[in-house]
């Protein structure tokens, strides 16, 4: 239990079981939200206060509120899973709490005690437990975030007031194609992050600046953008909402955390459990030329993307302004599928959890 005590107000207009079941039959990703949300306010000199679980609903904010103008905002993404025995669990929520605070520090925002972060998730999931899908592979996506709420246009000092919130959304696969291989677009025109910037932070501004490249990816018949380094646009960093792994036989290689990419919790989990599957996993730099040549020679056998929303998603082909190639035969490979099954097995409780990652909520 944290020091803050949460006021709890249940939603008198919560949706009926029939309405909920209709949503859960086909939840999509991030489209429908549950009946409650968590809010906690912060005031400089006072700290965090007015913690509450309350009915989900719109916010009333002054148009001059800082977040609208200067994007002082950070967020997280994690899921609650319904396990076979009926328990509802989260996956490594303390890792999300720690990353959230690293993002807050970079954006000059107040850190939230890790135990408050975890308690806020627990309260929301317990209140809305009936919204946690029972369909295999579906889950309740949790979105904690903090926004700067000070009213005023000055930029001489960061906001002195903030609001932390958590909302939840039942979700199916992030990619409509489920576990089919995706096609990725090499962004050589735009840059996501440069050293000293906010690449390692999960802040809204990173995603705002990425939409133009994501739109370009879609216009080129691709599902997602691949970001490259800021200087040469040659070294692979990550994708729009997930990290990348290159498979060389039984060796997994993922780009190193140089400060410009997000330290994915799925990425870290795969680096850790690879040895349990008899695979080696390590960090290593890779250029787009090495990627293309490795696929042509057969040295790179598979590539996959990983993240909370994407789970483990095979990458089947790559397209850039001046090149295009297929990875393997373009279909999901066996190593990718083993890694995916292991991750889902730990999350849904059908495999052992030797690293102690599963956090029971109720």
Helix (H) or strand (E) holding 253, with range, is strand 251-254
265 binds, among ligand COI, ligand PLP, none (CB under 5 to 8 A by kind): ligand PLP
User: Binding partner of residue 264 among ligand PLP, ligand COI, none, CB under 5 to 8 Å per kind?
Assistant: ligand PLP
Q: Which does 254 bind (CB under 5 to 8 A by kind): ligand COI, ligand PLP, none?
A: none
Among 37, 74, 148, 309, binds ligand COI (CB under 6 A): 309
Question: Is the Cβ of residue 307 or residue 314 nearer to ligand COI in the bound state?
Answer: 307
> Contact residues for ligand PLP (CB under 6 A)?
77, 238, 241-243, 262, 264-267, 307-308
- What is the rounded distance in angstroms from the CA atom of residue 126 to the CA atom of residue 196? 39
Binding partner of 311, given ligand PLP, ligand COI, none, CB within 5-8 angstroms per partner class: none
Of 2, 52, 56, 77, which one interacts with ligand COI (CB under 6 A)? Answer: 77
Query: Is residue 45 within 8 Å of residue 54, measured between CB atoms?
Result: no
Q: Tokens 């429908």 correspond to what residue?
A: 32
Dihedral sign (CA 263, 264, 267, 268)? positive
- Is 144 among the residues that bind ligand COI (CB under 6 A)? no
143 closest CA partner among 207, 65, 191, 218? 207
- DSSP string across 34-99: -SEEEEEEEETTTEEEEEEEEE-------TTBHHHHH--EEE--EEEEE-TTS-EEEESHHHHHHH
Q: Whole-number minimum distance, CB 130 to ligand PLP, in Å? A: 25
Rank residues 24 and 309 by Cβ distance to ligand COI and give the closer one.
309
Question: Quick one: DSSP state of residue 15?
Answer: P
Backbone dihedral angles phi then psi of residue 304, each to the nearest 5 degrees? -140, 155
Rank residues 104 and 300 by Cβ distance to ligand COI and give the closer one.
104
Query: Considering beta carbons, is residue 77 or 113 the nearer one to ligand COI?
Result: 77
Contacting range for ligand COI; rule: CB under 6 A; set: 101-109, 177-185, 270-278, 302-310 = 302-310
Distances (CA, A) of 318 to 100, 241, 321: 32, 17, 11
Does residue 241 bind ligand COI (CB under 6 A)? yes
Provide the minimum distance between the beta carbon of 54 and ligand PLP in the complex, in angstroms, as a whole number: 26
Give Cβ neighbours of residue 256 (< 8 Å, ≥ 6 apart).
Answer: 283, 284, 285
Distance CA 161, CA 298 (A): 55
Partner that binds at residue 229, options ligand COI, ligand PLP, none, CB closer than 5 to 8 Å by kind = none
Token digits for 285?
């730099």
Site string for ligand COI, 192-231 (x = CB under 6 A): ----------------------------------------
Look-up of token digits 């959890």? 353
Q: Could you say whether residue 27 binds ligand COI (CB under 6 A)?
A: no
- 3-state DSSP call for residue 175? coil
Contact partner at residue 66 from ligand PLP, ligand COI, none, CB < 5 to 8 Å by partner kind: none
Residue 132 within binding range of ligand COI, rule CB under 6 A: no
Q: Which residues bind ligand COI (CB under 6 A)?
A: 77, 241, 307-309
């Amino acid at each position: 239990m944290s020091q803050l005590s949460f006021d709890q107000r249940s939603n008198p207009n919560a949706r009926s079981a029939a309405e909920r079941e209709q949503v859960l039959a086909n939840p999509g990703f991030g489209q429908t939200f549950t009946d409650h949300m968590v809010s906690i306010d912060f005031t400089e000199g006072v700290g965090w206060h007015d913690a509450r679980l309350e009915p989900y609903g719109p916010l009333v904010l002054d148009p001059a509120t800082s977040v609208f103008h200067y994007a002082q905002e950070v967020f997280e993404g994690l899921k609650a899973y319904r396990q076979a025995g009926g328990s509802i669990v989260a996956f490594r929520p303390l890792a999300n709490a720690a990353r959230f605070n690293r993002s807050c520090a970079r954006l000059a925002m107040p850190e939230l005690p890790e135990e408050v972060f975890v308690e806020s998730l627990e309260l929301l999931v317990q209140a809305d437990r009936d919204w946690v899908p029972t369909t295999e592979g579906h889950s309740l996506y949790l979105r904690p975030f903090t926004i700067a709420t000070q009213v005023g246009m000055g930029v001489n000092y960061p906001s002195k007031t903030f609001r932390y919130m958590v909302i939840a959304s039942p979700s199916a696969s992030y990619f409509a194609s489920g576990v089919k291989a995706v096609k990725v677009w090499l962004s050589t025109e735009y840059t996501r992050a440069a050293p000293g910037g906010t690449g390692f932070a999960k802040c809204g501004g990173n995603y705002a600046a990425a939409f133009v490249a994501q739109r370009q990816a879609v216009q080129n018949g691709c599902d997602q953008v691949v970001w490259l380094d800021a200087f040469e646009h040659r070294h692979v960093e990550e994708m729009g909402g997930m990290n990348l792994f290159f498979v060389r036989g039984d060796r997994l290689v993922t780009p190193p955390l140089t400060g410009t990419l997000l330290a994915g919790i799925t990425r870290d989990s795969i680096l850790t459990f690879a040895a349990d599957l008899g695979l080696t996993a390590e960090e290593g730099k890779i250029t787009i030329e090495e990627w293309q040549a490795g696929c042509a020679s057969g040295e790179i056998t598979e590539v996959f993307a990983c993240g909370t929303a994407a789970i483990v998603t095979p990458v089947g082909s790559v397209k850039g302004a001046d090149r295009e190639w297929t990875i393997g035969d373009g279909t999901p490979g066996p190593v990718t599928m083993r890694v995916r099954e292991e991750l889902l097995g730990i999350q849904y409780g059908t495999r052992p959890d030797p690293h102690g990652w599963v956090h029971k909520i109720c």
